[in-house]
Amino acid sequence: MLKKIKNFLRPYWNSYIPIIRNVFLGIFLLVVIGGRIYNWVFSEEVAKQYRELSKEIYSIEIFDKRILNVRVGTGNIVIAKEATANIDMGGDIDEAMKSREEIIDYFLRHGWEPVSLHKNDLTFRNKRYEIKLFGPMRPKPLVDNHWLVTIGFNTIFQRLRF
């Protein structure tokens, strides 16, 4: 049965591959060029989005007075906008698991949906935002209980990091 299907599709396969390739390439270029034009033309709107994301990081109570810095995220390729912060959860690296449990408990109590709860990275989502937390659970010489927090809007572009 499978051999019959292969024999049936063989004459069409080589003629459709360039069409499929060109469609995907066209969509990719359209999104990249459109995203760059949007970032250039609507720079005030983009700055407003970054301010909103930074404000949201500061409004999360568990991070109150623990934020070391907030900056524009590194994953802002075309469309997705994100802000990144370094958080000092207090204590040394050995207290990271305790901080992890506090963070999970906080986000669950405040209506965030857990997406991924791996050992050293956590992802939560609500209707408006998606937040990723990367913990310090790596081998020594890390001594501080610092977390990297990335927040972006809950869109398909953020999920694909595009």
Q: Provide the sign of the torsion angle of the four alpha carbons 64, 55, 75, 23, taken in this order.
A: positive
Cα separation, 90 vs 79, in Å, equals: 34
Q: What is the pLDDT of residues 89-113, one digit of tens each?
A: 877 767 777 888 888 999 999 999 9
Cα separation, 63 vs 5, in Å, equals: 58
Pick from 160, 139, 126, 138: which is nearest to 56 by CA? 126
Which pTM value belongs to this model? 0.74
Q: Provide the sign of the torsion angle of the four alpha carbons 57, 58, 61, 62, taken in this order.
A: positive
Q: Give average pLDDT by consecutive 10-residue segment, the chain, 162 residues.
A: 74 77 90 83 88 90 85 71 85 76 90 88 92 75 74 82 68
Amino acid at 29: L
Other CB atoms within 10 A of residue 51 CB: 11
Strand ranges, E, within the chain: 67-72, 82-92, 113-117, 121-125, 129-134, 144-153
Strands 113-117, 82-92: pairing kind = unpaired
Other CB atoms within 10 A of residue 77 CB: 13
